Amino acid sequence: MNKNDPFDFSWTIVGLGFITLALSYGTWYSSSVFFVALLKEFGWSRSVGAGVFALFMFLHHLIGPVVGRMVDRFGPRRVMLLGCFLSCLGLFLSSLVQTPWQYYVSFGFLTATGIAGTGWVTNTTIIHYWFKEKRGLPTGIISSGIGIGILFCVPATQYLINHIGWRMTYRVMAGVIPGVMAFMAILLLRRSPPGVPSKPIQRDVRFPGASDPEACDQTWSSRPWTIRQAMATGQFWFLFFAFFLGNLISQTVLAHQVAFFVDRGMDALSASYIAGLVGATSVVAKIFLGTLSDRIGTEATYTLGVSFGVSGVLTLVTFNYVSVEILPYLYGPLFATGYAVTAALPPVITGDFFGGRTYGRIFGTLMIANGLGGGLGIWGAGYIHDQTKNYVPAFLLVIGCFILSAYLIWRAAPLKIKGSGKKRMELILPE
C-alpha cells in the first residue's frame, strides 16, 4: 500500500479480485446444475458425469505452479487475459458437446485451464504483492467473491437452462463472463504494487518486503524460499495434506448438493436456491473468518469453521432420513462456514510460512493438493452413489476429513511464525 497516494489503489485491486473470483467460480460452481441437465439429456452415469468435473478440478490445480510462476515472472495481467480467452473457448465448445469425451475436452480441460488463469492462484498472489501485512481481511474479501458467484450464478444458470436450454446458456456465459473479466484486467492491472517492477520479474531479483513485519520468527519469514526448500519442511507437507482434505470436503458437497436435494424430492430450481444460500453465507463467513484469523490465529479460526462444517454435513445426513423442510436451510449457513474456512485461510497460512517473491509458485504447488482432493471427492462421491444409490457414506467420509484437516493445521502450527501476541516458538529450518 502506498501511504503517499491519497487514494489507496490496493483496495481497488481487492475489488477486482472480488469480482473476478465471483465470475470465475460462479462459472465453476454452476456446473452442479449443468450436471443435472446433462444427466437428464444424455443418461450418463453419476461417475461419468462427475468425472468431467473431477478432471476440471484436478487440472485447474495441477497447473497451479505454472500459473503462479507465470504471475511471478510476467505479471497477472497477461495471465488473466490468456485465462479469459481459454474460458471463452471452453464454454462455447461445451455448448456443442454430444459425447462425454467432448465434454471432458471442452469443460474439463479448456475451461479449467482458463479459470486457473483468472482464479485463485492469480488473485491471491496479487493480494500478496499489494498487502505486506494483515492479509486475512483482503484475502477474506476476495474469497467471498466466490460466494457471491455461487449465490447469483447458480440460480441464474438454472433459470437460463429452464428457459433457453443448457446449450444456449453455455454460449451466453462464453460471451459475457470472460469479456467482463478481460475488460477489468485491461483497465485495472496497469499499475504495479509499490516497490515491484512493472516489467517481468527476473530470477535474480528478490521480491521486496519478503520479511513479514508481523512475524515473530524473522529468520524463517525473511528466508528467500525456493520450492525445493519449502518442500524440505514438515510444514509444507502438513499444509499439503490439510489443503487436500479441505478441498475434498468442499467439492464433494458443492458438486453433488443439487443432485442430492433433487434425489430427496426437491425440484432443481429450489435446490439451486439452497446452493445459492451456501454461497451467500460464505460471503460473510469468509470476510469474518479472514479478519478473525488476523486476531486469534489461523489454527483456532480453522477449528471454529470446521465445527460449523461438520454440523452442516450432519444436517444433510439427517435430511436423507427425515424430510424436515427446514433442514436444507440449516445446512446452507452451517456448511458454508466450514467451506469458507477451507477456502479463505489456505493462502493466508501459505503466506505466513512462505512469503516473498516466490509465493505464487509455492502456493500454486500447494494447490495441486486441492486438485487431487477435489477431483477425488467429486468423482468418489459419484462412484459411491452409483454403488449404494445413496450419498450418506460420502457425507460421513467428509466429516472425518473435516476433523483430520483441522488436526493437520494445528500440526503445521502457523503461530510458530505469526505470534499474534503468543509466546514465540522455534522452527527447525532445513539445510
CATH code for the domain of 88: 1.20.1250.20
pLDDT, position 202: 41
Interacting residues of 116 by C-beta distance below 8 A, sequence separation 6+:
59, 60, 61, 63, 64, 67, 83
Position 423 scores a pLDDT of: 39
Running along the chain, 431 residues long, what does each successive block of 10 average in pLDDT?
54 86 86 81 78 80 83 84 94 90 90 90 82 74 80 84 91 92 84 51 40 51 76 90 91 86 86 82 84 84 94 94 89 92 85 76 84 83 87 93 93 66 40 41
Give the pLDDT confidence score for residue 425 in this predicted structure: 37
Check: CB of residue 382 under 8 Å from CB of residue 50.
yes
Q: Does residue 311 fall inside a structural domain?
A: yes
Each residue of 180-229: pLDDT tens digit?
999 988 887 776 655 444 444 443 333 334 444 454 445 565 677 788 88
Instruction: Say how many domains are in the chain.
Output: 1
Within 10 angstroms of residue 428's Cβ, the number of other Cβ atoms is: 9
Say how far apart CA 377 and CA 356 lie, in whole Å.
Answer: 32
Tell whether 50 is covered by a domain: yes
User: What is the pLDDT at residue 222?
Assistant: 61
Residue 271 lies in a domain: yes
Give the pLDDT of residue 133.
66
pLDDT at 418: 57
Domain-embedded: residue 425: no
Domain membership flag for residue 421: no
3-class DSSP state for residue 75? coil
pLDDT at residue 405 in the model: 94
Q: Spell 88-105 as b/e; 16+ CB within 10 A means b.
A: bbbbbbbbebeebeebbb
* pLDDT for position 194: 55
Q: Position of cell 465453476?
A: 28
CA angle, 375 as apex, 389 and 377 as ends, to 5°? 40
- Going by C-alpha positions, the residue among 236, 219, 238 that lies closest to residue 228 is 236
* Residue keyed to cell 447458480: 154
Cα separation, 141 vs 145, whole angstroms = 7
In a domain, 248, yes or no: yes
DSSP codes joined into one string, 326-343: THHHHHHHHHHHHHHHHH
Say if 431 falls within a structural domain. no
Range of the domain at 395: 10-190+212-416
**pTM, entire model:** 0.69
Q: Find where cell 492491472 sits.
A: 189
Query: Does any domain span residue 150?
Result: yes
Determine how many CB atoms are found less than 10 A away from the CB of residue 413. 18
